């Protein structure tokens, strides 16, 4: 691989189960693994030396290149999230793509909360940072619109967005691919039967970036509804920047230190994930749980709202990169995720990743499967 530019330090939160004999560990032994890296992944450091039966936090040091660009790329893009959300409504409407169920371009109030109400708490801008036109095959575009339609960029209303989004998305992808290689080594060491995560991600045209803008909570909403409810991501790995909080046009510290990202450990403990602006966090998604035959587990997570008087007018901006298999990647043994999605089980236990995602989108958008 060419020199990969990575952040000067990085934190990864990833949930792993398994033991040396390739058997599933009992639930009390499942651990959260956190990796911290000062330099790059290009070293002998890996999961291999980790004792998962005792480790909760694992620090891995890397030997190469510090990466000066990441903090700048993060800041550039997250500031644009604020500006995008502040565009006039008709400009944002022009960026909507209903035919992909709002999986490209601007999406606000389209997704359903668990209560069935539209999610008005956040606005998202979705695009594939790696490829603008994944395919020209009409059948595929019809069948997998959320992956196969084209990116929509605000070329006239916010022209800087495209480059800033692609630059950060590609960087987080490159770092995530190195992490995937470490996952593969770990799988091999366990003598576990699973395809290569790095290869799956390398051949995919389905990666999706999501620029998120959480609107300020108005006093009447100032209750227990989270900015983003508990869920697992359905892709392979999700790279996350740390959030930028803003009041008006200015960046501010978050006035409520209980606000932000929380995950559940394998023992169901709820843990606040704190990581600095120079760090990237990676979470495991459902596709990795499925394709690793349960060695890795999808990480449940949610985002708690900033509360209290000082939180009034505070917005949250962040970026997620969903690294996902290609639409035709077979997903076997879906029974293993029946605990997450009972409705997918009529599928005979296997389907391509594209169908898996389209069905989940139907669920989140309150539509029925075809």
Catalog residues that contact ligand AKG under the rule CB under 6 A.
Answer: 210, 212, 228, 233, 240, 243, 261, 301, 303, 318, 320
Choose the contact partner of 360 out of Fe ion, ligand AKG, none; CB within 5 to 8 A by kind: none
Choose the contact partner of 166 out of ligand AKG, Fe ion, none; CB within 5 to 8 A by kind: none
C-beta closer to ligand AKG: residue 302 or 335:
302
Closest separation in Å from C-beta 344 to ligand AKG: 19
Closest separation in Å from C-beta 188 to ligand AKG: 29
Choose the contact partner of 305 out of Fe ion, ligand AKG, none; CB within 5 to 8 A by kind: none
Closest separation in Å from C-beta 157 to ligand AKG: 23
Please, what sign has the CA dihedral across residues 104, 105, 110, 111? positive
C-beta closer to ligand AKG: residue 174 or 318:
318
CB distance 212 to 81 below 8 Å: yes
Number of residues that bind Fe ion (CB under 5 A): 1
The tokens for 81 are 């999230």
Quickly count: other Cβ atoms within 10 Å of residue 370's Cβ: 8
C-beta closer to Fe ion: residue 233 or 329:
233
C-beta closer to ligand AKG: residue 42 or 231:
231
Q: What is the distance between the alpha carbons of residues 154 and 141, in angstroms, rounded to a whole number?
A: 22
Interface of this chain with Fe ion, residues 146 to 175, rule: CB under 5 A: none
Of the candidate spans 54-62, 123-131, 160-168, 233-241, the one that interacts with Fe ion by CB under 5 A turns out to be: 233-241
C-beta closer to ligand AKG: residue 201 or 261:
261
The tokens for 152 are 């929509």
The tokens for 283 are 């979470």
Choose the contact partner of 180 out of Fe ion, ligand AKG, none; CB within 5 to 8 A by kind: none
Choose the contact partner of 240 out of Fe ion, ligand AKG, none; CB within 5 to 8 A by kind: ligand AKG
Closest separation in Å from C-beta 273 to ligand AKG: 9
C-beta closer to Fe ion: residue 31 or 299:
299
Residue 286 sits in the site that holds Fe ion (CB under 5 A): no
Closest separation in Å from C-beta 336 to ligand AKG: 21
User: Which residues neighbour 56 within 8 Å (Cβ) at sequence distance 6 or greater?
Assistant: 31, 32, 33, 34
C-beta closer to ligand AKG: residue 212 or 337:
212
Choose the contact partner of 212 out of Fe ion, ligand AKG, none; CB within 5 to 8 A by kind: ligand AKG
Among 97, 184, 233, 358, binds Fe ion (CB under 5 A): 233
Closest separation in Å from C-beta 236 to Fe ion: 13
C-beta closer to ligand AKG: residue 18 or 176:
176
Write phi, then psi, for 289 (nearest 5 degrees): -60, -45
Q: Which residues bind Fe ion (CB under 5 A)?
A: 233
């Amino acid at each position: 691989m060419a020199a990969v530019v990575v952040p000067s330090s990085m934190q990864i939160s990833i949930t792993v189960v398994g033991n040396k004999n390739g058997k599933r560990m009992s639930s009390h032994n499942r651990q959260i693994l956190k990796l911290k890296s000062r330099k790059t992944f290009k070293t002998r450091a890996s999961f291999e030396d980790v004792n998962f039966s005792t480790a909760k936090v694992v620090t891995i040091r890397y030997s190469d290149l510090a990466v000066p660009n990441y903090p700048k790329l993060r800041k550039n893009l997250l500031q644009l999230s604020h500006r995008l959300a502040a565009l006039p409504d008709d400009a944002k409407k022009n960026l909507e793509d209903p035919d992909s169920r709002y999986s490209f371009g601007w999406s606000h109030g389209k997704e359903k909360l668990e209560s069935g109400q539209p999610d008005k708490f956040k606005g998202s801008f979705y695009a594939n940072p790696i490829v603008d036109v994944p395919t020209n095959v009409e059948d595929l575009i019809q069948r997998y619109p959320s992956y196969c339609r084209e990116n929509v960029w605000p070329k006239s209303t916010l022209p800087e967005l495209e480059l800033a989004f692609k630059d950060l998305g590609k960087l987080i992808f490159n770092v995530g691919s190195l992490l995937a290689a470490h996952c593969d080594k770990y799988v091999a060491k366990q003598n576990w039967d699973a395809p290569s995560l790095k290869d799956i991600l390398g051949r995919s045209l389905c990666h999706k970036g999501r620029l998120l803008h959480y609107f300020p909570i108005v006093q009447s909403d100032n209750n227990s509804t989270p900015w983003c409810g508990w869920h697992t991501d359905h892709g392979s790995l999700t790279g996350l920047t740390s959030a930028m909080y803003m009041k008006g046009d200015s960046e501010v510290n978050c006035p409520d230190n209980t606000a932000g990202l929380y995950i559940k450990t394998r023992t169901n403990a709820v843990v606040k994930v704190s990581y600095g602006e120079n760090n990237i966090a990676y979470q495991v998604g459902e596709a990795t749980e499925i394709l690793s035959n349960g060695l890795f587990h999808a990480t449940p997570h949610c985002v708690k709202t900033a509360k209290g008087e000082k939180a009034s007018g505070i917005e949250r901006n962040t970026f997620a990169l969903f690294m996902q298999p290609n639409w035709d990647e077979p997903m076997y043994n879906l029974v293993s995720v029946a605990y997450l999605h009972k409705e997918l089980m009529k599928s005979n236990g296997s389907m391509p990743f594209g169908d898996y995602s389209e069905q989940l989108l139907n669920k989140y958008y309150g539509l029925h499967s075809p």
